[in-house]
Amino acid sequence: LPADSATMGGGPGRSSRVPVSVADLRGSGPPAPGGTVRRYVLTAKKATVRLPSGREIDAWTYNGQVPGPAITATQGDLIEVRLCNADIDGGVTLHWHGYDVPCGEDGAPGVTQLTVRPGADFLYRFRADQVGTYWYHTHHASHVGVRKGLYGTLVVKPRDGQRADEYTAADQVDLTLPVHTFGGTVVIADRDGQTEHPAPPATPVRLRLINTDSEPHRIVLAGTRFQLAAVDGRDLNQPGEVSDVGLHLPAGGRYDLVFLMPDTSVALAVDDDRDGGLRLRPHGDAPGETRIEDTSGLPELDLLRYGAPVAVPFDTRNADRHFTMVLDRGVAMVDGRPAYAHTINGRGHPSIPDQIVANGDLVRFTVVNRSPETHPWHLHGHSLLILSRDGKPSIGSPVWMDTFDVRPGEKWEVAFRATNPGIWMNHCHNLPHAHQGMMLRLHYD
């Protein structure tokens, strides 16, 4: 196995380290001009949640509901969330998945804060500067807590007039659709089985799909051409219209699909389930009319060949640091005992050396998967520019992701600018894998 990390070195010309003050690591400060403060209280508690099918789940919830309250803001608002813990014994936190919050707001227990125990609370504050589709979840024993329901959605919309495309029109149908599995049943937002939603013909529609599971989901949209407008909250450049494709949505990932509603119904299927999923109906469309064909044979949309290229904000050939992570199986500490589990460069968390970067570094990751399972790779606090997959370069729109699936045998190259000082978890988002060793820390010098 290669060394844990190969540092290409900064070179003599690199600027000296910028000191970081602790105050910079918290999200203080007012909203942007014109913005407001969005206040929420989220109380973690156990609850029995009844799904539309009548099925009941013994859930861990924020505010008694699954998913937790939808957090929404307009760009520039200040989001202020008080997390309380009623009765989740092990403790909880809030991690803002994909959102580049200041490090102290990141919700990584034992790293950026203490776990919030029953009866305790924690106040999170951060400016909603990034537009797009995100989500939040507990980061304490998340392989248990997220699976049981401790998650919700975070959507930030552009300020009026800043992005006047047709899909931000006031009359649009804009649905946030976390996809989560409870005991083998797919739940889309808060509904199992088939969900209906009205959508008048010619209305702009935006579907914000969020995979809150630990496994990928296959998404098919039938009955219309559409654009994949955004990946992990970040807009793609000139996304073309597609149809008859399968979308592979990594665990933790988000896709925004946009289209103008046709005058016939549109169906969204998850994992090629033709009976469940979402049906959008133009007015007057009789229930039962929608037919969804067998979708299992549709080709997968290749993200790295979609949209049009455009310049990116750094020269990806000249990285200051280069880290290689080989994902495999080996001996890791699991629940305090050595076990054969998931490893990075032959080691398991917490005995994997930190990746050290300096503020301002251009960092490159090579992620190699030598194991027989897919590993959805996730770095906190930064978005990653995808350079190549298995040696095939990204030739379409630049794709920025915070969670990308490295399938068995694959090798991915990604890059990012380290401009968010702190200590950041870098891990597999198949959450049991992270729990079983596949996690390390990226540490600013």
> Minimum distance between the CB of residue 32 and Cu ion, rounded to whole angstroms?
38
Nearest to 110 by CA among 100, 98, 95: 95
From ligand C2O, Cu ion, none, which one binds at residue 208 (CB under 5 to 8 Å depending on kind)?
A: none
433 binds, among ligand C2O, Cu ion, none (CB under 5 to 8 A by kind): Cu ion
109 makes contact, choosing from ligand C2O, Cu ion, none, with CB < 5 to 8 Å by partner type, with: none
Is 428 one of the binding residues for Cu ion (CB under 5 A)? yes
Choose which of 355, 397, 430, 436 interacts with Cu ion (CB under 5 A): 430
* 84 vs 150 by CB, closer to ligand C2O: 150
Structure tokens at 145: 């807590």
Tell me which stretch binds Cu ion (CB under 5 A): 74-82, 309-317, 360-368, 423-431.
Answer: 423-431
- In angstroms, what is the minimal distance from the CB of 430 to Cu ion? 4
Which positions from 353 through 392 interact with Cu ion, judged by CB under 5 A? 375
Q: Given the rule CB under 5 A, which of 59-67, 109-117, 164-172, 427-435 is the region that contacts Cu ion? A: 427-435
Contacts of 25 (CB under 8 A, 6+ apart): 102, 103, 104, 421, 422
1 or 20, CB closer to Cu ion?
1
Could you tell me which stretch among 63-71, 103-111, 143-151, 433-441 binds Cu ion (CB under 5 A)? 433-441
Cβ neighbours of residue 103 closer than 8 Å, sequence gap 6 or more: 25, 112, 381, 420, 421, 422, 423, 424
| Among ligand C2O, Cu ion, none, residue 378 binds (CB under 5-8 Å by kind) | ligand C2O
Query: Does 435 contact Cu ion by CB under 5 A?
Result: no
Is 427 a binder of Cu ion (CB under 5 A)?
no
- Cβ neighbors of 277 (< 8 A, separation 6 or more) are 188, 194, 195, 267, 268, 269, 270, 292
Amino acid at position 167, single letter: Y
Give min distance, CB of 252 to ligand C2O, in A: 5
Q: Where are the beta strands (DSSP E) in 86-225?
A: 95-97, 121-127, 132-137, 151-157, 173-182, 185-188, 194-198, 204-211, 217-222
Are 408 and 368 in contact by the 8 Å Cβ rule? The answer is no
Could you say which of ligand C2O, Cu ion, none residue 397 binds, taking C-beta under 5 to 8 angstroms by partner kind? none
Least distance CB 238 / ligand C2O (angstroms): 29
Nearest distance in Å: CB 429, ligand C2O = 6
Q: Identity (one letter) of the amino acid at 33?
A: P
Query: Does the protein bind Cu ion through residue 403 (CB under 5 A)?
Result: no
Q: Binding of Cu ion at residue 93 (CB under 5 A)?
A: no
Handedness of CA 50, 53, 55, 60 (dihedral sign): negative
**Nearer Cβ to ligand C2O, position 139 or 248?**
139
Alpha-helical regions (H) of 112-178: 142-148
C-alpha 108/C-alpha 232 separation (Å) is 20
CB of 426 to Cu ion, least distance (A): 12
Contact status, residue 324 vs residue 1, Cβ threshold 8 Å: no
Please report how close the Cβ of residue 124 comes to Cu ion at its closest, in angstroms.
Answer: 27
Which CB atom, from 349 or from 433, has the smaller least distance to Cu ion?
433
Do 384 and 231 contact (CB within 8 A), yes or no? no
**From ligand C2O, Cu ion, none, which one binds at residue 428 (CB under 5 to 8 Å depending on kind)?**
Cu ion
Question: Other CB atoms closer than 10 Å to residue 387's CB: what's the count?
Answer: 20
Q: With respect to Cu ion, which residue has the nearer C-beta, 194 or 403?
A: 403
Q: Which does 137 bind (CB under 5 to 8 A by kind): ligand C2O, Cu ion, none?
A: ligand C2O
Residue type, 241: E
Residue 399 lies near Cu ion (rule: CB under 5 A): no
Residue 217 CB neighbour total at 10 angstroms: 20
Q: What string of DSSP letters covers 366-410?
A: EEEE-SSS-EEEEETT--EEEEEETTEEP-SS--EESEEEE-TT-
Stretch (H or E) spanning 20: none
Pair 176, 208: CB distance under 8 Å? yes
Residue 140 binding target from Cu ion, ligand C2O, none, CB below 5 to 8 Å by type? none
Q: Answer yes or no: are the C-beta atoms of 272 and 296 closer than 8 Å.
A: yes
- Closest separation between CB of residue 383 and ligand C2O, Å? 13
CB 137 to ligand C2O: min, Å: 6
Binding site for ligand C2O (CB under 6 A): 95, 97, 137, 139, 252, 378, 380, 425, 427, 429
Task: Find which of ligand C2O, Cu ion, none residue 97 binds, CB within 5 to 8 Å per kind.
Answer: ligand C2O
The residues binding Cu ion (CB under 5 A) are 375, 428, 430, 433
